[in-house]
Amino acid sequence: MTKNIINKENVQPIEGLQGILRRTLVYNDSLMLCHFILKKNAEVPVHQHKEHQIGYVIKGKLKFITENGEFIAKEGDSYVFDSNEKHGALILEHTEIIDVFNPSREDYK
């Protein structure tokens, strides 16, 4: 495996929260790419982090809870959370997403 190419199948998933599986793929100091499998009815508590986050829903559906309200993201949708923006999620269907963080999250390395 080189630092320039990593296949998600070669990365062991980590279950940081019940029903939330994360694979940290490629990253440098500025950017991090993660693949998540989210099981139906799993929850991500409302939280915040200094890293900006953008994501894309590959399949499934989830409800995001933010300090400004709620919204549904489904297959084909993308989303963004600014630095320190409070957000959480309720997983409505078996869901697969890609998230990008800027800068890289130390806790996901």
pLDDT digits (tens, 9 = 90+) for 61-100: 999 999 999 999 999 999 999 999 999 999 999 999 999 9
* Whole-angstrom distance, CA of residue 93 vs CA of residue 58: 12
Whether the CB-CB separation of 11 and 37 falls below 8 Å is answered with no
What's the pLDDT score for residue 4?
Answer: 83
The three-point CA angle 63-68-73 to 5° equals 25
Query: Chain-wide mean pLDDT for the chain?
Result: 96
For 2-33, b where at least 16 C-beta lie within 10 A, e where not — what string? eeeebeeeebeeeeeeeebbbbbbebeeeebb
Which domains, and CATH codes, for the chain? 22-108 (2.60.120.10)
